[in-house]
Amino acid sequence: MKRLCLTLLALALAGTLAAKDATEGLTPRQILIQARAMFPQERLTVRGALVTAKARGLEETARPYTLTLDWAGGTPKADCALFREEGEATPILRAELARRDGTPTLALIGADGTRSEGIRLNTPIGESDLTWMDLAFDYLWWPEVRCLDEAELEARAIPSRQNSRACVVLEATPPTPIPGLDAVRIWVDRATGNLLQTEQIDARGETLRQMYVQRLGREKGRWVPREFRVRRAGQDRVTKLTVRAIASDSFTTEGDGDGE
């Protein structure tokens, strides 16, 4: 299947394609806010497995997880529980993420109940290359964002199309320094305003990590991600986040669906 560079939840909930340019006349910051508004504002729970494997497919670890996003109200929150094995009731690690007064916070709670505050958002999750920032989508709230024009895209050999879609390419800079991370590059579909791809880049503009959806299914008229992958530059392995179920007040999906 052709690689689909789409963000996890935006893909699951993408709306009807618009005929006009949804980003026309908007500032880069407004485009980012619009992309954030495309995500569910209701409480959403995702269940699946976090898998690490060699690039050739040899599985190393597989940890069941439950992720809950709640962006309603004035304090966006995310809660993630990571389990050692399927069926276990007590997580080996739980994370609480929130943005209070514009400031992101991350606390980790161990299996013994020990709580650690002030954890960096770019801390890897377990043995994987996935970070807590990936799950919290924290960059969607960053105030400093700019648009890369055609001349800069061409000079830096950055594609303006993803998955055959014309995009606006943004670069969002963290409001407080994050060691090793200079910015997050974001592709937004001009036609819909949806997020299509994100990459974390260093001070030289080199890609550090890339995320993309690997497998899709169709459930009740919705395209639902079944697996998305993270690759870190220079590493001979891949992190896979499989999705077994997505549930909210308005819809529920289960199983593999009819994968595409």
* Fold (CATH) for 8-247: outer membrane lipoprotein receptor (LolB), chain A (2.50.20)
- Please report, for the chain, the start and end positions of each structural domain, with discontinuous segments joined by +: 8-247
Contact call for residues 213 and 8 (beta carbons, < 8 A): yes
160: number of Cβ within 10 Å: 16
pLDDT per residue, tens digit, the chain (260 aa), is 334 334 444 444 444 444 478 899 999 999 999 988 877 678 889 999 999 998 677 888 999 999 998 887 778 899 999 999 998 999 999 999 998 888 889 999 999 999 999 898 888 898 888 888 887 888 999 999 999 999 999 999 999 998 788 999 999 999 888 888 899 999 898 988 888 788 999 988 888 888 776 665 655 555 566 787 888 888 888 899 888 888 887 777 776 544 44
| Separate counts of helices (H) and strands (E) for the chain | 4, 15
Angstrom distance (rounded) from CA 46 to CA 242: 10
**Whole-prediction pTM:** 0.77
Secondary structure class of 31 (helix, strand, coil): helix
